[in-house]
């Protein structure tokens, strides 16, 4: 815990002593979490226990009140201490290094699959041509060839969720957060979507965190972190 950031080899992301309160509610209390490259981590716990806040705080979506978040750079090129970054730097880092998959229904339905996937890339400064090419590659990786021109509203739930995964993966992130990604799907489709998420979300320089209520989903991950009242009870 006291090692300097550069000696934390083996960790892709470390959060130490993360705390977050909303008014009188302690959403996270001194949470420590280490994520290794290549792993899928399930985050479980009762409603309101901090499951969504835990992934949002490291990425700076919901800035933590206290604690440190350290993210290793690709190619072993040192680390980024998120607290030391300006808001603009943290936003830029979030767009490049973190991918988010939410429960079904969070993609703009009037945009096509390819437009949805390209959007975060354009926000991160990619050219239209590069973004379109990455979108095509990710569609293929998720088994969605030929569906790039289809509006989200005209896809099945499982297809739409695979577009959401493609969208999260397009910037080649280090950390993929999926918050109840299969919660709105029937069990067969949920399995297919989870297969896809685990296939692309685990890589030599990438890990995936899956917030879930479902023990079956958790059992398919490499380990489980359990939260209660903002505290990590198990598995950090």
State the residues that interact with ligand ADP by CB under 6 A. Answer: 22, 25, 27, 45, 47-53
Across the beta sheet with 79-81, what order do the strands follow? 25-35, 13-22, 66-72, 79-81
> Which residue minimizes CB distance to Mg ion?
52
| Least distance to Mg ion, CB of residue 177, Å | 11
| Least distance to Mg ion, CB of residue 232, Å | 15
27 binds, options Mg ion, ligand ADP, none, Cβ within 5 to 8 A by partner type = ligand ADP
In the bound state with ligand ADP, the residue whose beta carbon lies nearer, of 51 and 134, is 51
In the bound state with ligand ADP, the residue whose beta carbon lies nearer, of 67 and 148, is 67
User: What is the distance between the alpha carbons of residues 122 and 120, in angstroms, rounded to a whole number?
Assistant: 5
User: What is the distance between the alpha carbons of residues 105 and 33, in angstroms, rounded to a whole number?
Assistant: 29
Q: Which residues of 136-166 are buried (b: 16+ CB within 10 A; e: fewer)?
A: bebbebbebeebbebbbeebebbbbbbbbbb
| Least distance to ligand ADP, CB of residue 226, Å | 11
47 binds, options Mg ion, ligand ADP, none, Cβ within 5 to 8 A by partner type = ligand ADP
Number of chain positions touching Mg ion (CB under 5 A): 2
- H or E element: which one contains 210? strand 207-211
Instruction: Give the list of residues 6+ apart from residue 214 with CB closer than 8 angstroms, or none.
Output: 182, 183, 190
Site for Mg ion in 47-66 (CB under 5 A): 51-52
| Least distance to ligand ADP, CB of residue 44, Å | 9
| Least distance to Mg ion, CB of residue 70, Å | 24
| Least distance to Mg ion, CB of residue 211, Å | 6
In the bound state with ligand ADP, the residue whose beta carbon lies nearer, of 15 and 131, is 15
Tell me whether strands 207-211 and 175-179 are parallel, antiparallel or unpaired.
parallel
State the first-to-last Cα distance of the chain, in angstroms, to the nearest integer: 13
Cβ distance 177 to 106 under 8 Å? Answer: no
In the bound state with ligand ADP, the residue whose beta carbon lies nearer, of 47 and 187, is 47
Does position 161 interact with Mg ion (CB under 5 A)? The reply is no
Residue ranges that bind Mg ion, judged by CB under 5 A = 51-52
């Amino acid at each position: 815990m006291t090692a300097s950031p550069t000696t934390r080899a083996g960790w892709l992301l470390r959060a130490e002593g993360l705390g977050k309160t909303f008014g009188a509610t302690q959403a996270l209390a001194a949470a420590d979490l280490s994520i290794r490259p290549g792993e899928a981590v399930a985050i479980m716990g009762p409603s309101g226990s901090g499951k969504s806040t835990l992934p949002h705080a490291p990425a700076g979506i919901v800035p933590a009140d206290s604690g440190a978040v350290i993210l290793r750079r690709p190619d072993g090129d040192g680390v980024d201490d998120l607290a030391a970054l300006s808001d603009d730097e943290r936003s830029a880092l979030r767009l490049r290094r973190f991918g988010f998959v939410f429960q079904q229904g969070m993609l703009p339905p009037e945009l096509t699959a390819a437009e949805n996937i390209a959007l975060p890339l354009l926000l991160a400064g990619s050219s239209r041509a590069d973004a379109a090419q990455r979108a095509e590659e990710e569609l293929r990786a998720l088994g969605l060839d030929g569906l790039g021109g289809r509006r989200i509203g005209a896809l099945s739930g499982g297809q739409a969720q695979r577009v959401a995964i493609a969208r999260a993966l397009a910037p080649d992130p280090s950390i993929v957060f999926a918050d109840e990604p299969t919660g709105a799907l029937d069990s067969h489709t949920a399995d297919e979507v989870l297969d896809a998420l685990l296939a692309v979300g685990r890589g030599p320089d990438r890990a995936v965190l899956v917030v879930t209520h479902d023990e079956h989903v958790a059992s398919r991950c490499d380990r489980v972190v359990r939260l209660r009242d903002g505290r990590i009870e198990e598995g950090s």
